[in-house]
Amino acid sequence: MWPLPKPAPGPQPPDGAVVSVRLPFSFRFQHPAQVVVAGFGLVIAAGTLLLTLPVATASGEPAGWMAALFTSTSAVCVTGLAVVDTETHWSAFGEVVIAGLVQVGGLGIMTLATLFTLLVSGRLGLRARIAAQAETKALSMGDVRRVVRKVVLFSLLCESVAAAVLAARFLIGYGEPFGRALYLGAFHAVSAFNNAGFALWPDSLVRFVADPWICLTVAFACIVGGLGFPVVFELARAWRRPRTWSVLTRITLGTSLALLLLGTGVFLATEWSNPGTLGRLDDPGKVLAAFFTAVMPRSAGFNTLDITQLYPSSWLATDLLMFIGGGSAGTAGGIKVTTIGLLAFVVWAEMRGESRVNVGRRRLPDTTQRQAVTITTLGVALVGLATYLLLALTPHGLDVVLFEVISAFGTAGMTTGITASLGTAGHLLLVVLMFIGRIGPLTLGSALALNTRARHYELPEERVIVG
């Protein structure tokens, strides 16, 4: 117990008076990003405790702490990597816990906390508004209440539609009992929309590689969830007036479409004759499988092709897609398509010798450009460091280790099959990567920086040779 400070000399309060004592320490959040980090950490801890309960496993034996921690982190961070088979290791209770953690992680801790505050009190304080804004990426604090309501309602609507389609397909096409079909549809709809990648089959969705009802429903749920809520809301409001779209929407849609088309083309060209992947399918099946494989690295994590059978060139293409990820303020991970899109405009402006970076009829502020460079640099540095450490800790080669690291950082959840064999140290490293990848390198850095300093002077400028 901390000793109480001695009373200062001088007149003392009368007996029975209430004395206010300042403890030798105080803890409070000084930055909204710290609330986001702490919120995700608490939910991961709670999920770990629930998954260690005997009722959470199919065998009735308590799960190991490492398996529980890894699974909880993977679920909350909507990654999908697993050290144990989801269907055979966890009970129905454990699977429901995982789905709940995925839902909480997808919507965001602060989004749910804001909703609960609104339901209980009907009003929102300034500190809670700022914290919610940090998670929902709302463009102004006045939009937070409206955004939170829309986020939750839109998420539930999309998940319900996807669950209904999947459940009907499982019921009619595969003869599953009604209750089982409904459960499978709901679980995979939540996992797909939140870009989590958890599946209730050991081979993910490989058995449905030629089923357009399953593949397209899951793919479009992943795409919608990964676009980002601000983009989706703007499209719903002004989809007939593309000229009025914001820079965020234009960059997100343009870059996402380009990556989908490019990824589909690359996988078709590379894997067309591979007997272990596309080679065994007919032409429509090849296009469907290539499209699905191009969507999933963008943080979704499902797979209809055996990842271990892909050519190394396809692994490299998957690495790049996983690192980029999806849209800002969505359920996808990675450094975000907006970051890559902004950097492309920066490079284009620099090559043309322009002093300002313009997108359409708008000029990008210098702070936005610095944020894009910072996020990309931190991401590359983190992936490089983690790859080196995992190579030193495990006997696996560079290609599979790099794939695993980028999958964890980009919260993609795809694996070449080495996750379970990485050992405790490797699993802890992936846990850290998934956590950082979900909350974002810049958010974590802001949370650790307790104070911001304002510079009241400028230093003389000096040109440096670059390149």
User: pLDDT grade, residue 128 (50/70/90)?
Assistant: low
Q: Helices 441-448 and 423-439 sit at what angle, rounded to 10 degrees?
A: 90
Q: Supply the pLDDT for residue 125.
A: 62
- Higher model confidence: residue 51 or residue 226? 51
Angstrom distances, CA of residue 297 to CA of 207, 301, 412, 437: 19, 6, 6, 14
Residue 22 has pLDDT above 60, yes or no: no
Q: Supply the pLDDT for residue 24.
A: 43
Handedness of CA 369, 402, 436, 77 (dihedral sign): positive
Mean pLDDT value across residues 82-100: 94
Q: Supply the pLDDT for residue 12.
A: 53
Half-sphere CA count of 204, side-chain side, radius 13 A: 28
> And the tokens for 219?
């793919």
Residue 369 has pLDDT above 70, yes or no: yes
Q: Supply the pLDDT for residue 26.
A: 44
Helices within 19-175 (DSSP H only): 32-51, 65-76, 86-89, 92-107, 109-121, 126-136, 144-173
**Residue recorded with tokens 């990567």:** 433
What lies within 8 Å, CB to CB, of 197 at 6+ separation is: 78, 79, 80, 191, 204, 296, 300, 301, 302, 412, 413, 414
Q: Supply the pLDDT for residue 393.
A: 93
The pLDDT > 90 percentage for the chain reads 55
Q: Supply the pLDDT for residue 103.
A: 92
C-alpha 152/C-alpha 191 separation (Å) is: 15
Q: By C-alpha distance, which of 409, 384, 419 is closest to 77?
A: 409
Handedness of CA 409, 413, 418, 422 (dihedral sign): positive
C-alpha 193/C-alpha 103 separation (Å) is: 9
Q: Supply the pLDDT for residue 270.
A: 95
Residue 188 has pLDDT above 90, yes or no: yes
Handedness of CA 342, 344, 345, 346 (dihedral sign): positive
Q: Supply the pLDDT for residue 306.
A: 93
Q: By C-alpha distance, which of 95, 88, 111 is closest to 40?
A: 111
Q: Lowest mean pLDDT: which of 132-146, 185-199, 223-237, 432-446?
A: 132-146
Q: Supply the pLDDT for residue 91.
A: 94
Q: Supply the pLDDT for residue 173.
A: 94
Residue 14 has pLDDT above 70, yes or no: no
Half-sphere CA count of 257, side-chain side, radius 13 A: 6
User: pLDDT grade, residue 18 (50/70/90)?
Assistant: very low
Q: Would you say 293 and 301 are in contact if contact means Cβ atoms under 8 Å apart?
A: no
User: pLDDT grade, residue 237 (50/70/90)?
Assistant: confident
Report DSSP letters for 364-417, one per residue: PPHHHHHHHHHHHHHHHHHHHHHHHHHHHHSS--HHHHHHHHHHHHTT----SS
C-alpha 126/C-alpha 118 separation (Å) is: 13
> And the tokens for 399?
């290609």
Residue 137 has pLDDT above 90, yes or no: no
Q: Lowest mean pLDDT: which of 1-10, 52-61, 431-440?
A: 1-10
- Higher model confidence: residue 126 or residue 335? 335
Q: By C-alpha distance, which of 410, 426, 421 is closest to 197?
A: 410
Residue 38 has pLDDT above 90, yes or no: no
- Residue 38: how many CB atoms within 10 A of its CB? 13
Read off the pTM.
Answer: 0.85
- Residue 445: how many CB atoms within 10 A of its CB? 14
Q: Would you say 341 and 255 are in contact if contact means Cβ atoms under 8 Å apart?
A: yes
Region of residue 279 (phi > 0: left; psi between -120 and 50: alpha; otherwise: beta): alpha
Q: Supply the pLDDT for residue 102.
A: 94
Q: Supply the pLDDT for residue 5.
A: 47
- Higher model confidence: residue 130 or residue 292? 292
The backbone torsions φ and ψ at residue 90, rounded to the nearest 5 degrees and listed phi first, read -95, 145
pLDDT in tens, 435-456: 998 887 656 555 545 445 666 7
Residue 106 has pLDDT above 90, yes or no: no
C-alpha 300/C-alpha 294 separation (Å) is: 10
Q: Supply the pLDDT for residue 221.
A: 94
**Residue recorded with tokens 């234009």:** 250
Q: Supply the pLDDT for residue 21.
A: 40
User: pLDDT grade, residue 20 (50/70/90)?
Assistant: very low
Mean pLDDT value across residues 264-269: 96
Residue 467 has pLDDT above 80, yes or no: no
> And the tokens for 439?
């909350």
Residue 133 has pLDDT above 70, yes or no: no
C-alpha 8/C-alpha 312 separation (Å) is: 72
C-alpha 38/C-alpha 128 separation (Å) is: 14
Q: Would you say 188 and 214 are in contact if contact means Cβ atoms under 8 Å apart?
A: no
pLDDT in tens, 312-356: 999 999 999 999 998 877 788 888 898 899 999 999 988 888 888
> And the tokens for 463?
């040109």
β-strands 358-359, 362-363: how paired? antiparallel
> And the tokens for 54?
């005997």
What lies within 8 Å, CB to CB, of 211 at 6+ separation is: 169, 173
Mean pLDDT of the chain: 84
Q: Supply the pLDDT for residue 267.
A: 96
Q: Supply the pLDDT for residue 127.
A: 60
Q: What angle do CA 369, 373, 374 make, to 5 degrees?
A: 115
pLDDT in tens, 159-183: 999 999 999 999 999 999 999 999 9
